[in-house]
Amino acid sequence: MKKKFEIETTTIETKFGDFRFHCFSWGKHEEDNILVLQNENIKTVPLVRIQSACYTAEIFRSLDCDCHAQLSKSQQLIAEHGGYLIYMLCDGRGAGLLNKVRGLELGRLQGMDTSEAYKHLNIEQDPRSYSRVSEVLNHFTLKEINLLTNNPRKIDAIASSGIKVTRTPLEIESTRSSAPYLKTKALKMGHMLSEFLK
């Protein structure tokens, strides 16, 4: 059966070590690509992190979420233990960067949290699809993974593709700036963040 994607691979050196760097492409637009950092030195069950782009935090280092810290911690853990960092080029939890900025402005002007802002904009709270991620995992013939996540939707999506999933928590302690966002994720979106679910 012909693959639905193209893949190109190289090796990159990072501050956490060297990784095989894969670009999986389903089309001509950047959003049709999934990037993968791979450390083949896997000791037991591979660690896998599935992360969606957060340009405000990862590029501009905004302080109102934990996305940059999660990305760095995941890369560090995968460098140490082996596994795969799967990076989806879809900001705003799949709603797009324009909608994300609209939501941020509603928060700034009207005090809405992320959940309220997305409802106001008639956007699903988390419209991401993980079907292409499952294709990537199947490409690497992974049958069992330790998934670095706090999001039960990710666990359910990957498990539904037939891969055995064990959750490995990836909790970043909140700051004064990030606490409102993380609290919303825990209380309104079901994320497993023990700091806010005591």
Q: Which of 128, 153, 156, 167 is catalytic?
A: 128
Structure tokens at 30: 């950047």
Active site residue 93: no
Active site residue 128: yes
**Contact between residue 143 and residue 164 where contact means Cβ atoms under 8 Å apart:** yes
Q: Which of 20, 108, 126, 153 is catalytic?
A: 126
d(C-alpha 160, C-alpha 11), whole Å = 31
Active site residues: 126, 128
